Amino acid sequence: MENMAEGELLPLEKEEGAQVGVPTSAPASARVSDSAPEPAPTPASAPAPALARAQTPALSPSLASAPEEAESKKHISIQRQLADLEKLAFVTEGDFDSTSSLNSDNLDAGNKQACPLCPKEKFRACNSHKLRRHLQNLHWKVSVEYEGFRMCICHLPCRPVKPNIIGEQISSKMGAHYHCIICSATITRRTDMLGHVRRHVNKGETKSRYIVVSTTKPSNEILKEADTDVQVCPNYSIPQKTDSYFNPKMKLNRQLIFCTLAALAEERKPLECLDAFGATGIMGLQWAKHLGNAVKVTINDMNENSVTLIQKNCHLNKLKVVVDSKEKEGGDCLGEEEQNLGNIKVTKMDANVLMHLRSFDFIHLDPFGTSVNYLDSAFRNIRNLGIVSVTSTDISSLYAKAQHVARRHYGCNIVRTEYYKELAARIVVAAVARAAARCNKGIEVLFAVALEHFVLVVVRVLRGPTSADETAKKIQYLIHCQWCEERIFQKDGNMVEENPYRQLPCNCHGTMPGKTAIELGPLWSSSLFNTGFLKRMLFESLHHGVDDIQTLIKTLIFESECTLQSQFSTQTPSNVKKQEENDVFIKTTDTTTEHLQGKRKSHEVITNLAKKQKSDVSTEHPPFYYNIHRHSIKGMNMPKLKKFLCYLSQAGFRVSRTHFDPMGVRTDAPLLQFKSILLQYSTPTYTGGQSEGYVQSSPENSVADRVE
């Protein structure tokens, strides 16, 4: 690539200096239309040459609704054809009056011109054929295409670059970048530009629509959930674009936690509750608004904008706010209705520091991602028989999509299995149990839920080293067969087993070459549900009108006892009331619980509560479940899931559905018996030339004998 000497550029620079006085209202050098050539403009409206273009910043970022106006406002690096980009370089002052006469002849006239997308320090003026080759190879070939336009790479000083200090000299390196045709972004890498445009397309941001949205500043929106108004910021559902994240898809999670707190409030009042990561404060507002003086709510957030938004939402719901021990009222005066509602204390502090400084009866942890960094602080000052709820949204690591992240955060080895959601729940419970044991506390798992967007674990805290030792014993490793999906927890003992494959019920290691099983864990090996507490949660959901989670809680109750809905146990203790709702007997507690104001309960009351919790523990359900589709037989049609559950129950096994998987079956039947019963009641898929007796006779007779 040949460059001219600096002396040869002096006449051109003088001519450029004469053109600097062009009106700034319409600099045509950076706004070049792709439409047909217009009549020759006056010299006053002539475009500034390359130097003026190099100093011109990026222009209007988006296209208007009208095609002519849209094309006139885009950056010069955005063109439809390569010829349009070449015209920007070959139009000079002398022949600009005859712009309509541009053709291949005058493009090859031999005049040396500079690149319109490169400053003169980077690319000097050269001959036409070399400039055309430069534009094609360095700008056009690496462009990004969008709706007929090409966003070429630009080297002009449109994007500010941080200067680098080398010795005593300051070198400001100019960075290459792309100009987005839709928004005002300038992006350096081509792959990032492709993803940027793809995100615009996925959001439906067209050119005209984006201009309307960007010109008017959006105002804060007010949403309503469970009779609680909450003001949210723009882009509230995108964590990267807002400080106060609000996810409408987590409504089920918030309702489960509310019913948990309502059930705990029936045991002792008042409760000191903490929402460690408030964001908009929606969860703490629901606690204070519906439970009233039974709870003393503290909403914490580290971000100052979120704290301000939480205070606004408290005033919006007519709740009194206490900040730094000073009461701030939502209006000039408070009515009688507001006096019945509890106070909300809003704090701006690191969650770990706050949980170290104060004691709470109920702590909810819902950070963005994993919660392992806050578990030690949560169990440090939690009161005896208090509750800690943990919401983990790092499902990519928990669901075995990022196994290295799960090993880093939870110290656990996992693979993708058919029961991966329950595996994720047991991983989180094991992490919670280890954190509690380090603080000389044990846990009792009240329930664990793993759905599409989150994993929720709710545990009750039991103080004392004895409880901590019992809890630590329930953390074990799992042996999983990768051929047949059979699984079993390792036996207790310090001796190394010679052949750990013997513990598996299957014989895959004897029939298959090589290693067939893998060790997963450490995991929580005990029960994941407390039937008595779930029944009280169901009663509280009926009492407060929380209808969305009643079906889920009933499924959890059936799963905890591993029984079908028709065979649900109706046996309840004599000292507990019974209420029937949809063929389910709900256990409720007496409302004559002793209340103490300002002081902790006596040792007798806590002892009675501990005895009551022991009566809640039901027969432990079998760990894990089987997916009926995973074990289907090729060439056979499976029975309906409800009928298959009845067939397993008639064979003498405990069986229930599971919330982890809509096609999952929780049962204590071995996998061999599970497959045998599934094969017995499956019907063959008939094809041409096959008879019923030929396909069905031999296998079904042998299976029936095996099941008997």
What pLDDT sits at residue 202?
A: 81
Query: Which residue in this structure is represented by tokens 């928004």?
Result: 183
What pLDDT sits at residue 100?
A: 39
What pLDDT sits at residue 248?
A: 85
What pLDDT sits at residue 261?
A: 95
- The predicted model gives 91-109 an average pLDDT of 41
Cα dist from 27 to 19, 35, 49, 183, whole Å: 11, 17, 11, 20
Determine the residue type at 281.
Answer: G
Task: Count the helices and strands in the chain (H runs, E runs).
Answer: 25, 28
Determine the residue type at 543.
Answer: H
Whether the per-residue pLDDT at 450 is higher than 70: the answer is yes
Query: Closest by alpha carbon to 253, among 552, 616, 460, 657?
Result: 552
Give the contacts of 33 (CB within 8 A, at least 6 positions apart).
Answer: 68, 71, 72
Q: Helix, strand or coil for residue 273?
A: strand
Q: List the alpha helices (DSSP H) in 481-525.
A: 508-511
Q: Dihedral sign for Cα 699, 702, 707, 708, please.
A: positive
Q: Please, what is the Cα angle at 515 between 513 and 518, to 5 degrees? A: 150
Q: Is the peptide bond before 623 cis (omega within 30 degrees of 0)?
A: no
Higher pLDDT, 498 or 562: 562
Q: Are 307 and 348 in contact (CB under 8 A)?
A: yes
What pLDDT sits at residue 495?
A: 65
Q: Are 34 and 72 in contact (CB under 8 A)?
A: no
Q: Please, what is the Cα angle at 33 between 29 and 36, to 5 degrees? A: 130
Quick one: pLDDT band at residue 322, thresholds 50, 70, 90? Answer: confident
Query: Closest by alpha carbon to 625, among 672, 658, 673?
Result: 658
Question: Chain-wide mean pLDDT for the chain?
Answer: 74
Report phi then psi at 634, rounded to 5: -65, 135
- The predicted model gives 33-58 an average pLDDT of 40
Interval 551-582: pLDDT, tens: 999 999 999 988 887 655 434 333 333 343 43
Interval 587-597: pLDDT, tens: 433 333 333 33
What pLDDT sits at residue 32?
A: 37
Q: Dihedral sign for Cα 268, 270, 274, 279, please.
A: positive
Determine the residue type at 25.
Answer: S
Whether the per-residue pLDDT at 672 is higher than 80: the answer is yes
d(CA 547, CA 458): 20
Give the contacts of 363 (CB within 8 A, at least 6 positions apart).
Answer: 273, 274, 276, 355, 378, 382, 386, 387, 388, 389
Question: Six-digit token pair at 46?
Answer: 């002539």
**Dihedral in degrees, nearest 10, Cα atoms 191, 193, 197, 198:** 20
Question: Which of 17-21, 64-68, 228-232, 649-653 is most confident?
Answer: 649-653
Q: How remote is the C-alpha of 164 from its chain's centroid?
A: 38
Q: How remote is the C-alpha of 314 from its chain's centroid?
A: 26
Query: Closest by alpha carbon to 231, among 287, 328, 310, 341?
Result: 310
Question: Six-digit token pair at 523?
Answer: 């995991």
Quick one: pLDDT band at residue 335, thresholds 50, 70, 90? Answer: very low
- Which bin fits 292, alpha (ψ -120 to 50), beta or left (φ > 0)? left
Higher pLDDT, 543 or 509: 543
Question: Which of 157-166, 322-331, 362-371 is most confident?
Answer: 362-371
What is the DSSP track for 350-362?
Answer: -HHHHHHH--EEE
Query: Closest by alpha carbon to 428, among 452, 397, 383?
Result: 397
Q: Are 703 and 696 in contact (CB under 8 A)?
A: no
Interval 597-613: pLDDT, tens: 333 444 454 445 544 44
Whether the per-residue pLDDT at 372 is higher than 50: the answer is yes
Question: Six-digit token pair at 400?
Answer: 């075995």
> What secondary structure, in 3-state letters, does 285-332 show?
HHHHHHHHHHEEEEEECCCHHHHHHHHHHHHHCCCCEEECCEEECCCC
d(CA 348, CA 48): 54
Q: Helix, strand or coil for residue 65?
A: coil
What pLDDT sits at residue 440?
A: 94
Quick one: pLDDT band at residue 226, thresholds 50, 70, 90? Answer: confident
Tell me which H or E stretch contains 157: none
- The predicted model gives 173-186 an average pLDDT of 79
Query: Which residue in this structure is represented by tokens 């599934």?
Result: 678
Question: Six-digit token pair at 71?
Answer: 């094309």
Interval 620-671: pLDDT, tens: 888 999 998 888 888 888 889 899 999 999 988 999 999 999 999 999 888 8
Higher pLDDT, 509 or 395: 395
Query: Closest by alpha carbon to 391, among 299, 461, 457?
Result: 457
Q: Give the Cβ contact number of residue 686 at 10 Å.
A: 13
- The predicted model gives 375-387 an average pLDDT of 93
Q: Dihedral sign for Cα 587, 590, 591, 596, please.
A: negative
Give the contacts of 493 (CB within 8 A, at least 6 positions apart).
Answer: none
Question: Six-digit token pair at 137?
Answer: 């190879």
DSSP secondary structure code for residue 66 in this structure: S
Whether the per-residue pLDDT at 191 is higher than 70: the answer is yes
Longest pairwise C-alpha distance within the chain: 105
What pLDDT sits at residue 238?
A: 76
Q: Are 301 and 348 in contact (CB under 8 A)?
A: yes
Higher pLDDT, 122 or 291: 291
Whether the per-residue pLDDT at 78 is higher than 50: the answer is yes
Whether the per-residue pLDDT at 699 is higher than 80: the answer is no
Question: Picking from 154-168, 533-547, 555-569, 616-630, which range would have the lowest pLDDT averaged per residue?
Answer: 154-168
d(CA 636, CA 686): 9
Q: How remote is the C-alpha of 608 from its chain's centroid?
A: 41
Whether the per-residue pLDDT at 334 is higher than 50: the answer is no
- The predicted model gives 450-478 an average pLDDT of 93
What pLDDT sits at residue 30?
A: 39
Burial of 574 (0-12, 13-18, 19+ CB in 10 A): exposed
- The predicted model gives 145-172 an average pLDDT of 68
Q: Are 116 and 153 in contact (CB under 8 A)?
A: no
Q: Length of the chain in residues, anyone?
A: 708
What percent of the chain has pLDDT above 90? Answer: 31
- The predicted model gives 464-493 an average pLDDT of 89
